[in-house]
Every structure is written in structure tokens, then in C-alpha cells.
Amino acid sequence: MKPPCYEYVAPDTLAGALRVRAESEDSVVLAGGQSLVPTLNFRLANPDTVIDLRRVAELATIDTRDGMIRVGAMTRQRTLERNDAVLARNPLIRETMEYIAHPVIRNRGTVGGSVAHADPASELPCLLTLLDGELTARSSAGARTIPAAEFFEFVFTTALEPEELLVEVAFPVLEPGEGWAFREFARRHGDFAVAGAGATLLLDDAGRIARARLAACGVATTPVRLRAAEEALRGVEPGSEAFRAAGELARDAVTTVDDTAASADYRRHLLSGLVNDVLTRAAARAGGPR
């Protein structure tokens, strides 16, 4: 298939991109093109204007401030994954990103593109949901910060307004001694996850769980935080019994549907095992040096 006709613009600055965004009736943003180009070719999108952000260097930055790793929306996924300063502050980012597609796709795909696309099976939205990350949107009227918990609204649907651009994605750094893990199941390595789960685990001085965070992808219309399982883990000793019970609570908390990749029951069964697995891995990493 060939894409529909549209006007193509490639501004050099964010201000220029925001101006075009404000002036066009129905624009879309071209970031890495890994999801948008097939969407255009299949004519699932029919915009009047395509705004290519690849020349906007000010959106391709990585910076750590106020306990947050702040990533410009046009940062290539592979650049974030391979950044050693990011690895030192939050190794969960690299572990999670290794599950996104294949290296050639991550070379082109951007952090902002993945987040704005909001596929419910995607890893980065799940990670932001897990860590209580923040998204910054800008329009010609100004900027606003949106907590990850409010950003992902439905399948391929976010809180971004039509005149806004996603400009920054912020991941909190991990606490000293915080354990972490991400795992997913896909039919082939690099495919979208049938289900995935991430965990962080912070222990108190007595070795009990002070804080557990759990989130999943592929099991609902958005990434989901598994609050009931988190609550059940607080104050208990880490171990196989507690982690198996948390997996069962997670399984019971999600409602999903049958589709061509898996039945709802199978997905929920997978989630239970994945939660047990990420908690076991996070516990093994908790307390020691990162």
C-alpha cells in the first residue's frame, strides 16, 4: 500500500514544530516512523500534515535532575538503552528495553514515539507506570506535566491534546539498594509481549518488604499497576510463598479478552508466573549494590 497525500514538514526547532502543530487541522508527528509509517501505508491514518521531528536536536537529550532521568522525546530507544549513566541510576531501563522489538528497530524508534503510540503491550509505557514516571507535553500555549498514571487512557490513546507534542519522558532513578526486574513472554523474541511484568522491591532494616511496585503490559487496554499485590507484600518477608500469592492476586486483578495471540485465561495465567518471577529476581538484587 502507498500512503495517502499529505504535506510533509521537517522543522529545525521545537518552536517551529509547535507552530505547524497549532496551524494544521489534522497533523501527525513522525518520530522514528516504526509504527506511524505502516499506519500511513495501510491508510489507517489520513493526516493533512506530517511533522517530522528528526531535525529537532533539542528533543534528543538525556539529563538527570531532581531524581529523574529526563529523556527528550526524540531520543532513539537504542541511545537510552546504551547510556551508561542511565544504567548506573536505573538498570531496570536497560533490562526492559532489551525486550522492545529488535536492535534495528530500536535504532530508529524513539522513546517519545513508543510512549505516544501507547500500545498496551509496549514495555516503556509499562515501565513508566511501574516507576510513577512523568510525561511533559508542550503546545504553543505552554507546557504541562502529566503523571504516567493519567497519561495512558486506552489502546493507542493518551492524554495528549491534538495541538500538543510530547517533549520529555521522565523516569525516576531507583533508590539505593532497590531490587528490580522486568520479564515478558512473547511468541518469538522481539515480538510484542503476550504479557509482561516489572517489579521493584525495597527492603527495610529487618529484611522485610518496605515497598513493592508491580506493573504489567499486554493484559489490559493500558499498562496496569498491580496495587492489590503491592499492598499484600508490604511488611512481609520476601520469599516464594509471598511471591506466589502476589502472582495470584495480580492474576485475579486483571480482566482481559481472548484474541488471536492468546486466550484471556492464558494471559492471566502467564501474568501470575511473570509476577512471581520478577519478584524473585528483584528480591535477589535488593539490598546489595546496584
Ligand X SMILES: Cc1cc2nc3c(=O)[nH]c(=O)nc-3n(C[C@H](O)[C@H](O)[C@H](O)COP(=O)(O)OP(=O)(O)OC[C@H]3O[C@@H](n4cnc5c(N)ncnc54)[C@H](O)[C@@H]3O)c2cc1C
Show contacts with ligand X in window 2-31 (CB under 6 A).
28-31
C-beta of 117 vs 281, nearer to ligand X: 117
Q: Give CA–CA dist 119/76, Å, rounded.
A: 18
C-beta of 114 vs 276, nearer to ligand X: 114
Q: Give CA–CA dist 117/152, Å, rounded.
A: 10
Asked whether position 100 contacts ligand X by CB under 6 A, the answer is yes
Residue pair 121/218 in contact (Cβ under 8 Å)? The answer is yes
Asked whether position 112 contacts ligand X by CB under 6 A, the answer is yes
- Residue from 24, 75, 96, 114 binding ligand X (CB under 6 A): 114
As measured in angstroms, the least distance from the Cβ of 124 to ligand X is 6
As measured in angstroms, the least distance from the Cβ of 119 to ligand X is 6
Q: Give CA–CA dist 131/127, Å, rounded.
A: 6
As measured in angstroms, the least distance from the Cβ of 132 to ligand X is 19
The CA-CA-CA angle for residues 235, 237, 238, to 5°, reads 115
What percent helix, strand, coil does the chain show, rounded to 5?
Answer: 35, 25, 40
Amino acid at 47: P
In a 3-state reduction of DSSP, which class is residue 219?
coil
As measured in angstroms, the least distance from the Cβ of 184 to ligand X is 8
- Residue from 24, 110, 129, 222 binding ligand X (CB under 6 A): 110
As measured in angstroms, the least distance from the Cβ of 71 to ligand X is 11
Show contacts with ligand X in window 51-80 (CB under 6 A).
73
Asked whether position 195 contacts ligand X by CB under 6 A, the answer is no
Residue pair 236/248 in contact (Cβ under 8 Å)? The answer is no
Could you give the dihedral angle defined by the CA atoms of residues 67, 69, 72 and 74, in that order, rounded to the nearest 10 degrees?
-160
Q: Point out which span in 62-70, 145-153, 160-168, 199-207 binds ligand X (CB under 6 A).
A: 160-168
- Residue from 18, 166, 226, 253 binding ligand X (CB under 6 A): 166
As measured in angstroms, the least distance from the Cβ of 274 to ligand X is 15
Q: Point out which span in 107-115, 231-239, 255-263, 276-284 binds ligand X (CB under 6 A).
A: 107-115
As measured in angstroms, the least distance from the Cβ of 135 to ligand X is 10
- Residue from 122, 136, 276, 280 binding ligand X (CB under 6 A): 122
Residue pair 282/239 in contact (Cβ under 8 Å)? The answer is no
Show contacts with ligand X in window 32-51 (CB under 6 A).
32-36
* Cα Dmax for the chain: 64
Asked whether position 238 contacts ligand X by CB under 6 A, the answer is no
CA distances from 116 to 113, 135, 143 (A): 5, 10, 16
Q: What would the grid cell of residue 164 be?
A: 500538543
C-beta of 4 vs 239, nearer to ligand X: 4
Q: Give CA–CA dist 101/122, Å, rounded.
A: 10
Residue pair 264/243 in contact (Cβ under 8 Å)? The answer is no
Asked whether position 152 contacts ligand X by CB under 6 A, the answer is no
The CA-CA-CA angle for residues 212, 218, 223, to 5°, reads 50
Give the residues lining the site for ligand X (CB under 6 A): 28-36, 73, 100-101, 105, 109-110, 112-114, 116-117, 119, 122-123, 160, 165-166, 192
